[in-house]
């Protein structure tokens, strides 16, 4: 009797194992991010304040506690100052942002109707269409970029086709132009645009479309007034997923772009591997992060506050 009474009045306490397990589940990804993202970034940040020397590693240590050192902290702004002085860096930053922005916009223009079509398809067709969007990931990215070289080259498929049907006499210069870079980036990143757009469009309440039509909105007005604003989270997510990797893209401009298509990824590579100026390369990377990530973070925060 007293036993059963005690068990009834005993307050419910969460078992210790539960709490541990929960912390563990949350902890693992955090640990992963700290180890493989934050720590390397801290190293890059550290190197960006060092001075290049011919040694291994090719930069001075940040902290020097040896007796003959004049200062224990050897940080310098020289690398950052150099970035502002040589307009090569600004040109490539600007070019990267321009190419990434235009590619993102093209991805949105092509991806939105595709995502909309997939979201409105019957469940069986929908799965097939989604599969087709993801399918290119099953082959190597590099291979697919090489395939575009084959397509766009002087003796490539596109040129020979156009010449065969008599549209052109001499082959068009398509490879090693900005256009080829756009094609490559849009082609590679469009699934990252389609998938988040599909996710928002698919769960959109269709009775909202009916309601707009019922209140006198023509189909295009329904799209502008209802569908587009409500798919904004998908548009933002998709655009960020395309824009962020596109801005630092190295392989596509290196393989498809011309000598002058100097994107920041290429500049970074040159500083790092050709000039072996690790501190300057680190400064380029850090500045890129600041230029791109901080406005995006501020934008997302303002979006959250609006909610």
Partner 1 sequence: MKAQRSTKSYVAATPWLDPEATPFIQIKGLSKQFDDFTAVDNVTLDIYKGELFTILGGSGCGKSTLLRMLAGFEVPSAGQIIIDGVDMANIPAYDRPINMMFQSYAVFPHMTVEQNIGYGLKKDKLAKAEIATRVKDMLHLVQLDELAKRKPHHLSGGQRQRVALARALIKQPKVLLLDEPLAALDKKLREQTQFELINLQYELGITFVVVTHDQEEAMTLSDRLAVMDAGRFIQTGTPTQVYESPNNRFVADFFGTINFFNATVVSADPATNTVCAKLEKTGTQLKANSDVAFATGTEITIAVRPEKIIVSQQRPEGDHLTITKGTVEDLAYYGNRSLYRIRSQSGRIIQVSAQNYQRSEALVLEWDDEVFLSWDSSCNVVLSE
Residues that bind partner 1 (CB under 8 A): 205, 207-208, 210-218, 221, 225-226, 229-230
Omega within 30 of 0 (cis) for the link into 57: yes
> Residue 248's CB: how many other CB atoms inside 10 A?
16
Nearer to partner 1, 85 or 210 (CB): 210
Question: Smaller CB distance to partner 1: residue 166 or 216?
Answer: 216
Q: Find the shortest distance in angstroms from Cβ 297 to partner 1.
A: 23
Pick the closer one to partner 1 by CB: 109 or 232: 232
Work out the angle at residue 263's Cα, subtended by the Cα atoms of residues 280 and 134, and round it to the nearest 5 degrees. Answer: 120
Give 63 or 228: the residue with its C-beta nearer to partner 1: 228
**Pairs from 301-305 (Cβ < 8 Å, separation ≥ 24):** 303/236
Strand, helix or coil at 273?
A: helix
Q: Measured between alpha carbons, how far is residue 286 from residues 155, 164, 283, 289 in Å?
A: 41, 50, 5, 5
Of 169 and 307, which has the nearer Cβ to partner 1? 307
Minimum separation from the CB atom of position 113 to partner 1 (A) = 21
Instruction: Name the minimum Å distance from CB 217 to partner 1.
Output: 5
Smallest distance from the beta carbon of 30 to partner 1, in angstroms?
31
User: Shortest gap between Cβ of 211 and partner 1 (angstroms)?
Assistant: 4
Closest CA to 282 of 36, 75, 41, 34: 41
Nearer to partner 1, 86 or 205 (CB): 205
* DSSP bridge partners of 52: 59
The answer to whether the CB of 104 falls within 8 A of the CB of 275 is no
In whole angstroms, the minimum distance from the beta carbon of 238 to partner 1 comes to 18
Burial of 39 (0-12, 13-18, 19+ CB in 10 A): exposed
């Amino acid at each position: 009797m007293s036993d059963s009474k005690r068990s009834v009045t005993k307050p419910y306490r969460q078992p210790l194992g539960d709490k541990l397990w929960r912390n563990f589940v949350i902890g693992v990804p955090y640990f992963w991010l700290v180890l493989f993202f934050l720590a390397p970034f801290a190293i890059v940040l550290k190197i960006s304040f060092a001075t290049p020397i011919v040694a291994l590693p090719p930069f001075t240590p940040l902290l020097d506690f040896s007796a003959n050192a004049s200062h224990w902290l050897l940080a310098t702004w020289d690398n950052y100052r150099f970035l502002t002085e040589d307009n090569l860096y600004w040109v490539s930053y600007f070019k990267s942002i321009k190419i990434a922005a235009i590619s993102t916009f093209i991805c949105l223009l092509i991806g939105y109707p595709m995502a909309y079509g997939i979201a409105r398809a019957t469940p069986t067709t929908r799965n097939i269409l989604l599969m087709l969007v993801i399918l290119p990931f099953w082959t190597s990215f590099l291979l697919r970029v090489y395939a575009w070289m084959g397509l766009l080259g002087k003796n490539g498929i596109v040129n020979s086709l156009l010449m065969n049907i008599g549209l052109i006499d001499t082959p068009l210069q398509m490879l090693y132009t900005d256009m080829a870079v756009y094609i490559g980036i849009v082609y590679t990143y469009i699934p990252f645009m389609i998938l988040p757009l599909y996710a928002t469009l698919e769960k959109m309440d269709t009775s909202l479309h009916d309601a707009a039509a019922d209140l006198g909105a023509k189909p295009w007005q329904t799209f502008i007034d209802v569908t587009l604003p409500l798919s904004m989270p998908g548009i933002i997510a998709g655009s960020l997923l395309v824009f962020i990797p596109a801005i630092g893209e190295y392989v596509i401009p290196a393989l498809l772009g011309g000598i002058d298509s100097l994107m920041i990824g290429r500049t970074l590579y040159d500083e790092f591997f050709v000039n072996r100026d690790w501190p300057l390369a680190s400064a380029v990377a850090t500045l890129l992060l600041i230029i791109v990530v901080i406005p995006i973070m501020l934008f997302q925060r303002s979006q959250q506050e609006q909610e």
